Amino acid sequence: MRRLKFFPAPYPDECYYSIFCRYFARSGSTSNKRTIFELFGEAQSLAAFVFLPRRLELVDIWLGADSPVKREKLALDNSCYAYFSTAFTRQLYEGMERKIKTGEPDRSLERRIIQKCRRSHWPERLRYCPDCAREDMERYGETYWHRMPQLPGVEYCLKHGTPIRDSEVTFRQITMAFCPASHALQCLPLQEDAEKKKYRQRYLAIAGDTEWLLRNGLKLEGCRNIARKYKELFMEKGLTTAQGVRYPDRIKTAFTEYHGEGFLKQLFQDKENYLYWLDFVFESVSEHLRPLHHILLMEFLKGSSEKFYEAIPEIEPYGNGPWPCVNKICLHYGKDGAKKVSVSYFNGLTLGQFQCETCGMKYQRSNTEQVFEEYVEHVTILNYGHYWYEMLRECVEVKKLRLTETATVLKCTTTTVKKRADEIGINPNQNRKSCIYREKDGSKTDRSQYFRRRVTELLEVQPELTASELEEQIPGAYAWFNKNDFQWLKQRLVVDQEKHYWAEWEEEQLKALISAYETIQKTGDPDRRITVGWICSVAGLRESEIKGRLHRLPNIRAFVEEAVEGKEEWLERRFKKIAARKKLAGKDLKMADIRREMSLKPNTYQKYGTFIDGLITELNCCIQGKKSDKNGLNYQQE
């Protein structure tokens, strides 16, 4: 490889391939193969250069570092990189940006980029606007291949309104050949497709959005970010649930009404199911969408690509910012200071992540109905932030505070202090004294009197004292009593489960659970099984908190045992309803009726098969006016 003697200056909107074609024509070469080897040093397919900025690592070799033509300019102004970036994942986008800036060769990345711009979506021939070609000849004395006409959905020139024409040059021809536009665009017949003429304004709108993406596509930051915004705007239009779960049929109907069925069929003539790609709007599979699909969706949601980019969703699941900080030692605690990092949807939950710009603490919320005052009692912290860790280090290493004192300063539990201190490699117990009592005369009685007095004084301030709290407040006391007079200490200590706090907590949670159960009975789905999870969800409580503590919460345990339905109870209740309807129709209950109305999972039939068969037989006896001898039950029509 060597520096070229000359290189054509790129024209406005000229595609990368066209620059090479003009180089071939001006070099006087008669051999495509020789020119390809001169440029690339090896055999190289040329078709992808129509769309993508390939082999950018050679630009500095061709032109030299002092040339005004740079890799960045070629990628942004003479390729469709920004346009196709709407289909890139974050990894592809960052890889391509790195390649453009550094010029490092990466064939693997190029192959993945080409896969995103599938050959099956390319036009059969190179395309052009006759008026643009005429203007090019008048201005430059030659014409060239423009980027815009080659892109899907661009059927009319945005500048002149002229129909885009197919040239005689096929993409198969340009795989290993240079076909300059000045040689190819001569004496070609002009005719307009009557079918496309009906949708001229639609095609012009697509051309306008295509041009915007060519200039600004990188601002959208890839397919994942675009898909997240789709969810929020779908919610505005009432096309998703409050948790972001889409209504596919409703979306397809509204989308077809906006664009028109005839236009969509004309645009996707090669597909029977021309809306198949709407299933890829989900964030996890959004990389399968083509830029043309994005253009149609952006027009549907906001009228144009530019308006979509500028749009700020009116519906914010967690309200409008700034959001409160959850760091109790931050000046912005409970007020403001936090910005939204992201909102995503998973298993019916709306997961919002927020981070304080002052202290750096990052937290996550999953219940849009829960007020902030309730949430702060059980915060999900993802990152404690730089300020909190600085304060922790200061308490332990500078102020030499003990564990409990550090927890008091940071307004958290001692467990939190231990875990976070371990993360940054410091020992929170390094300032702890093994025993705060020092004998002066070696008398055992002095130590006994001292510890009894200290424990008695502590109990006056804190009547409910646990062994761990005693050890934190009076180091060495528990070890001494355990060795000398444990019975005296045992009579005065309580275990954590016996604290009055838990009785109050149980009473408060029980009220919320009962209220939630009553709400379910009044407005809930009557066919749904009543579970602990459902009741906790309605009550705004964590299921794990309730189920994990049932063994020491007798009142809540009794309520759960009474309110929650076992699987067999629920099956029996549902079967009775179905049997009652069959009785009115004078028909027997069959397994097909159960499968049709209940949609039970296969493992349910395997696990409860005997019970289900027996229950169907029993209910059929009732339908026929007989009593079951099996359980002695008398079923009445509901």
Write out pLDDT tens, residues 565-610: 888 888 888 888 888 887 787 778 777 777 777 767 777 777 777 8
pLDDT at 189: 55
- Give the mean model confidence (pLDDT) for residues 550-568: 86
Query: Is residue 626's pLDDT more than 70?
Result: no
Residues 6 or more apart whose Cβ sits within 8 Å of residue 107 = none
Q: Are residues 48 and 158 in the same domain?
A: yes
Concatenate the DSSP letters of all residues of 7-33 into one string: -PPPPTTB-HHHHHHHHHHHHT---HH
Asked if residue 594 lies in contact with residue 575, where contact means CB atoms within 8 angstroms, the answer is: yes
- Rounded-to-integer distance, Cα 130 and Cα 146, Å: 11
The confidence band for 192, taking pLDDT boundaries of 50, 70 and 90, is: low
Higher pLDDT, 448 or 631: 448
Residue 273 falls inside a structural domain: yes
User: Which helix (DSSP H) or strand (DSSP E) does residue 407 occupy?
Assistant: helix 403-410
Q: Are residues 97 and 62 in the same domain?
A: yes
Q: Are residues 478 and 360 in the same domain?
A: no
Question: Which range, of 342-346, 466-470, 537-541, averages the lowest pLDDT?
Answer: 342-346
Q: Are residues 515 and 481 in the same domain?
A: no
Share of the chain above pLDDT 70, in %: 90
Exposure of 378 by Cβ count < 10 A (0-12 exposed, 13-18 middle, 19+ buried)? exposed
pLDDT at 631: 38
pLDDT tens, position by position, 316-351:
777 777 888 999 999 989 888 888 888 776 666 778
Among candidate residues 324, 331, 328, the one with its CA nearest the CA of residue 354: 324
Range of the domain at 393: 387-423
Concatenate the DSSP letters of all residues of 46-61 into one string: -GGGGTS-TTGGGHHH
Please give the model's pTM, rounded to 2 decimal places. 0.57
pLDDT at 541: 84
Q: Are residues 37 and 184 in the same domain?
A: yes
- Give the mean model confidence (pLDDT) for residues 263-290: 78
Residue 130 falls inside a structural domain: yes
pLDDT tens, position by position, 210-247:
999 999 998 988 888 888 888 878 878 888 765 566 77
Q: Are residues 153 and 34 in the same domain?
A: yes
Residue 587 falls inside a structural domain: yes
- Rounded-to-integer distance, Cα 116 and Cα 19, Å: 23
Exposure of 249 by Cβ count < 10 A (0-12 exposed, 13-18 middle, 19+ buried)? exposed
- Give the mean model confidence (pLDDT) for residues 304-308: 91
pLDDT at 627: 40
Partnered with residue 362 across adjacent β-strands are 355, 383
570 by DSSP, 3-state: which? helix
Max mean pLDDT among 148-152, 241-245, 596-600, 611-615 falls in 148-152
pLDDT at 630: 37
pLDDT at 632: 41
> Which one of 289, 310, 331 terminates a domain?
310
Q: Are residues 587 and 468 in the same domain?
A: no
Question: Which range, of 56-60, 115-119, 218-222, 439-443, averages the lowest pLDDT?
Answer: 439-443
The confidence band for 636, taking pLDDT boundaries of 50, 70 and 90, is: very low
Query: Is residue 445's pLDDT more than 50?
Result: no
Residue where the block lists tokens 């060795």: 483
pLDDT at 284: 58
pLDDT at 145: 93
- Give the mean model confidence (pLDDT) for residues 43-65: 85
| Cβ atoms within 10 Å, residue 365 | 21
Parallel/antiparallel/unpaired status of strands 323-324 and 125-128: unpaired
Q: How far is CA 478 from CA 297, 399, 454, 473, 534, in A?
A: 69, 26, 12, 10, 44
Residue 437 falls inside a structural domain: no
Longest dimension (CA), the chain: 118
Parallel/antiparallel/unpaired status of strands 337-346 and 323-324: antiparallel
Q: Are residues 224 and 358 in the same domain?
A: no
Among candidate residues 356, 318, 365, the one with its CA nearest the CA of residue 337: 356
Report the Cα 567 to chain-centroid distance in Å. 34
Q: Are residues 257 and 290 in the same domain?
A: yes
Question: Into how many domains does the chain fold?
Answer: 7
Q: Are residues 28 and 150 in the same domain?
A: yes
pLDDT tens, position by position, 472-483:
788 888 888 888
Query: Is residue 114's pLDDT more than 80?
Result: no
Asked if residue 128 lies in contact with residue 145, where contact means CB atoms within 8 angstroms, the answer is: yes
Share of the chain above pLDDT 90, in %: 21
List the structure tokens of 444.
């055992």
Angle at 485 between CA 484 and CA 490, to 5 degrees: 140
- Rounded-to-integer distance, Cα 226 and Cα 456, Å: 65
pLDDT at 433: 60
- Rounded-to-integer distance, Cα 295 and Cα 211, Å: 11
Residue 6 falls inside a structural domain: no
Asked if residue 512 lies in contact with residue 540, where contact means CB atoms within 8 angstroms, the answer is: yes
pLDDT at 317: 73
Asked if residue 363 lies in contact with residue 376, where contact means CB atoms within 8 angstroms, the answer is: no
Asked if residue 487 lies in contact with residue 476, where contact means CB atoms within 8 angstroms, the answer is: no
- Rounded-to-integer distance, Cα 40 and Cα 44, Å: 7
List the structure tokens of 359.
């202290």
- Rounded-to-integer distance, Cα 94 and Cα 447, Å: 68
Query: Is residue 190's pLDDT more than 70?
Result: no
The confidence band for 119, taking pLDDT boundaries of 50, 70 and 90, is: low
Query: Is residue 294's pLDDT more than 80?
Result: yes
- Give the mean model confidence (pLDDT) for residues 453-464: 86
| Cβ atoms within 10 Å, residue 318 | 17
Residue 532 falls inside a structural domain: yes
Residue 88 falls inside a structural domain: yes
List the structure tokens of 508.
């408060």
pLDDT tens, position by position, 376-427:
888 899 999 999 999 999 999 998 888 888 999 999 999 999 999 999 899 8
| Cβ atoms within 10 Å, residue 606 | 8
Q: Are residues 39 and 178 in the same domain?
A: yes
Query: Is residue 542's pLDDT more than 50?
Result: yes
> Which one of 263, 286, 310 terminates a domain?
310
Asked if residue 146 lies in contact with residue 126, where contact means CB atoms within 8 angstroms, the answer is: no
Angle at 617 between CA 613 and CA 621, to 5 degrees: 170
pLDDT tens, position by position, 483-518:
888 888 888 888 877 777 778 888 888 998 999 888
> Which one of 126, 153, 188 terminates a domain?
188
Backbone angles phi and psi of 331, in degrees to 5: -65, -20
Q: Are residues 38 and 121 in the same domain?
A: yes
- Rounded-to-integer distance, Cα 261 and Cα 252, Å: 11
Fill in the amino acid letter for 526: P
Asked if residue 414 lies in contact with residue 407, where contact means CB atoms within 8 angstroms, the answer is: yes
Among candidate residues 119, 121, 306, the one with its CA nearest the CA of residue 217: 306
The confidence band for 537, taking pLDDT boundaries of 50, 70 and 90, is: confident
- Rounded-to-integer distance, Cα 543 and Cα 533, Å: 5
